[in-house]
Amino acid sequence: MKNSVFSQKIYSFLLTAYRRYLQTPERSLYEAYDAALKIQEIENKHFNGNKIDTDLAMYSNSVMDYFESDLNKLLKIARMRLTEFKASRWFLNEENQKAAEKAGIEYLSLSLVLEKLNFIDQVISKYTIDSEQTTSKALVVRPQNLSANSVISDDKSLLVNTPALPPKISTQDLDKKGKIKRKTDTIGVLPRSILSTISRLQVELDPNSEQEVIQNFRQTQKRTIISIRFILLLIIVPLLTHQIAKSLVVGPILERFRSSEQMQIFLNSEMEEEALVELQRFEEKLKFQNLIIKAPPLLPEQLETEMKNKAIEVAEEFRHESSGAIKNVFADMFAVVAFIWLLLVSKSSIAVLKDFFDNIVYGLSDSAKAFIIILFTDIFVGFHSPHGWEVLLEGVSRHWGLPANRDFIFLFIATFPVILDTIFKYWIFRYLNRISPSAVATYRNMNE
């Protein structure tokens, strides 16, 4: 009985594998067609039906890198599935087709197959690079003559001669045709200021210049709206997630499993000390009021009753604070997850936001850049910054119900601002000094 069940399982597994093998051509064609459809969707949405190319779009480099990565992935899928389609059709013969008909597998009609293949070829052909053109543009390096320092070994060795590597050529050293610019090509007959004035007049007299200006303005406006909306989402979504999770998820669960009688009143010794200090001040306040109004002294029973009521009130207050601290820990986890999820699903918005900040930062004057750098460095790593870090760390520890460890706070203040200061100085020396030397000079003058 067991052998028959086992043989039936093997037979069903082999039958499923064989059916999948027979469906390989149609499955490969569907996947290649789906990849081509996605490429066409990107072209229609973002490039007005044109080819995905930097010359035909008004996007930034980061946005184009995002589109090109998707394009390369989809082209790879389409080409691999076309190769799989051709190979599977070559292996399938008439007997396999008859077996497929017996198994109930229906293939696409010839007209649909040809239509899908034609569509895939039309989409992929836009991005097919002719190998002959690429090889004709390649640099040919001639090997140099053998020198006296060539390595000669015994009879079984070879004479080794390594050709010299060609010098590195940047894109700025190439013209539009891909040829190397020479020194004589960069020097014009007229001064560059006159040529730039003439080119500016040509742009202003061009009838299409107004449309280009409007299009650039619309692109900038769209980028600004997307960036501001994404910044608001980064702020609002975690805050709303925190409040909703705290009120509707964490709060009911905590109140269900921990009743008010069983719940611990104080989470740490600092809360207990605050409660005792508050209760002691209340007792001294009662005695002080009794002395001012010159009333007869309070009886021990009356004083005990007042102190008992106040203790119940203080206990309820700190029990609520302890419960809120526990809720904050789990609600913050939900908020962090929401923030990370928002970053993962908004890669295109992040690229637009990066380009938005780049345009704002690099559009500032040198004095404005120096002012912002000095402002941030004085706030986070300046002389008075330790007081701000101390208040911030105490607030975070109180938010989570943790005791404020003074040793940890002092150690953090002694190390983290120093690390930030080093990073600021390295960024100024490495990047800002190369991008905007005048801003660095203004920063040094203002800092002195």
Side-chain half-sphere of 199: how many Cα atoms within 13 Å?
Answer: 7
Cα separation, 291 vs 274, whole angstroms = 26
The more confident residue out of 155 and 340 is: 340
Cα separation, 54 vs 73, whole angstroms = 18
Q: Per residue in 112-151, pLDDT tens?
A: 888 888 888 888 888 875 434 443 443 333 334 433 343 3
What is the pLDDT confidence band of residue 340, given thresholds at 50, 70 and 90? very high
Strand partners, 160: 151
Strand partners, 151: 160
pLDDT of residue 286: 81
To the nearest whole number, what is the mean pLDDT of the chain?
Answer: 75
The more confident residue out of 365 and 180 is: 365
Cα separation, 189 vs 92, whole angstroms = 69
pLDDT of residue 145: 40
Residues 6+ apart with CB under 8 A from 378: 384, 385
Side-chain half-sphere of 168: how many Cα atoms within 13 Å?
Answer: 1
Q: Per residue in 91-105, pLDDT tens?
A: 665 555 555 555 555
Cα separation, 381 vs 118, whole angstroms = 63
8 A C-beta contact, residue 25 and residue 33: no
Cα separation, 24 vs 249, whole angstroms = 48
Written as six digits, the tokens of 289 are: 């009021």
Written as six digits, the tokens of 379 are: 């706030």
Tell me how far apart the 2 most distant CA atoms of the chain are, in Å.
Answer: 122
Q: Per residue in 28-81, pLDDT tens?
A: 888 888 888 988 888 888 887 788 877 666 677 777 878 888 888 888 888 888
Cα separation, 441 vs 370, whole angstroms = 9
Query: Which of 107-121, 144-158, 171-185 comes out lowest in average pLDDT?
Result: 144-158
pTM: 0.51
Cα separation, 355 vs 59, whole angstroms = 9
Q: Taking the chain, what is the end-to-end CA distance rounded to the nearest angstrom? A: 93
Q: Per residue in 313-322, pLDDT tens?
A: 888 888 888 8
Written as six digits, the tokens of 100 are: 């497929």
Query: Which of 141-150, 354-363, 379-388 comes out lowest in average pLDDT?
Result: 141-150
pLDDT of residue 191: 61
Give the mean model confidence (pLDDT) for residues 19-26.
71
**Most confident stretch, 172-176, 204-208, 273-277:** 273-277
